Amino acid sequence: MSMTTKSGIKRWTADNALAKIVNCGCKPDTAILRVNVATGQTPDEYYWNRLDEAAAAPVYAVKVTGSSGANSVATTAATGISAVSIQYDGVLISDPVGGDDKFAIPETYSTSQNYAGGQTYTQSQSGETTTIAARSTSVIGMVVRPTTKNGFVYELTTATGAGTTEPTWTTVPGTTCTDGGSNVWTCRTEKTASRGCYGLKIGASIQTDGQFCTLEWASHEVCKDVGDSVSYNLVNPM
């Protein structure tokens, strides 16, 4: 087998003590995470291997504590590093001024949702959950499907708050409808699309706010089958 190696590096400052997903653009085989725990102190290091995670007794990283050199084993994803392979299914919304299409994951329309802001919503697919930040009154553009699907999606183009009644949905792309005379929704063609993320998730308990983190990874992928290797016994003629 012929192999090709993909590698990369990502740096960030930990924030909100949340797990972090790093999109590596490949499925890493090995990774090293360095976390600066204090100014002037040797970073803690986490060594991850995909085969260790897949073992019968999973190992999510081997930690080397920078201050002491002591080794420990992370046996849960929250305390170590884990592989991520996500596919989000959504739609593409055309930019009216000719820019790139916007990828959106539609919600089902609800009159209890405050579309002007102040709420969050959660999207779960393929075993991963993403929480979208609270909306602002100055931010529009979210996308919904009717409670009874009709083959179209609707983009919020004027946001005023929670709707009082579900609209009578127009089915002509570019035309609008309202939910009880408040929020304005513009009909869009339902152009389905998927977006993938291949990489690593850094456990929430590894990082503390303000710590500087560096992740390096490598992936070794088969690119061509060149057949079995063969040994030859060379005989020099006399």
User: 145 forms bridges with which residues in the sheet?
Assistant: 108
Judged against a pLDDT cut of 80, whether residue 63 lies above it is answered with yes
In sequence order, the β-bridge partners of residue 174 are none
Interstrand relation of 183-189 and 2-13 (parallel, antiparallel or unpaired): unpaired
Judged by phi (left if over 0) then psi (alpha if -120 to 50, else beta), residue 151 lies in left
pLDDT of residue 58: 95
> Model pTM?
0.58
Ranges 60-74, 82-96, 154-168: which has the least confidence: 82-96
pLDDT of residue 238: 34
**Region of poorest pLDDT, from 5-9, 149-153, 170-174:** 5-9
Distance CA 91, CA 191 (A): 5
> What's the rounded Cα separation, in Å, for the pair 27 and 20?
16
Show Cβ contacts of residue 175 under 8 Å, excluding neighbours closer than 6 positions. 186, 187
In three-state secondary structure terms, 52 is helix
- Residue 57 confidence (pLDDT): 94
The first and second tokens of residue 213, run together, are 């983190």
- Kindly indicate the confidence band of residue 235, based on its pLDDT and cuts at 50, 70 and 90: very low
d(CA 18, CA 211): 12
23-47 confidence digits (pLDDT tens) = 898 889 999 999 998 777 899 999 9
Q: How far apart are CA 201 and CA 221, in angstroms?
A: 20
Mapped onto helix, strand or coil, the DSSP state of residue 223 is strand
How do the domains of the chain map onto residue ranges? 2-85+196-223, 102-190
Q: What percent of the chain has pLDDT over 70?
A: 80
Judging by DSSP bridges, how do beta strands 121-125 and 107-108 pair with one another? unpaired
pLDDT of amino acid 236: 36
Q: What is the 3-state secondary structure (H, E, C) of 136-194?
A: CCCCCCCEEECCCCCCEEEEEEECCCECCCCCCCCCCCCCEEEECCCEEEEEEECCEEE
Q: What is the pLDDT of the chain when averaged over all its residues?
A: 83
Of the chain, the percentage scoring pLDDT greater than 90 comes to 45
More confident call, 189 vs 87: 189
CB 167 within 8 A of CB 177: yes
pLDDT tens column, 180-213: 878 999 999 999 988 878 899 999 888 888 889 9
Residue 105 CA to residue 143 CA, distance in Å, equals: 7
Average pLDDT for 4-18? 81
pLDDT tens per residue, range 137-150: 556 778 899 999 99
Comparison of pLDDT for 223 and 96, the residue scoring more = 96
pLDDT-derived band at 225, boundaries 50, 70, 90: low
φ/ψ bin of 68: left (φ > 0), alpha (ψ from -120 to 50), beta (otherwise)? alpha
- For position 100, what pLDDT does the model report? 82
197, two tokens: 């993320």
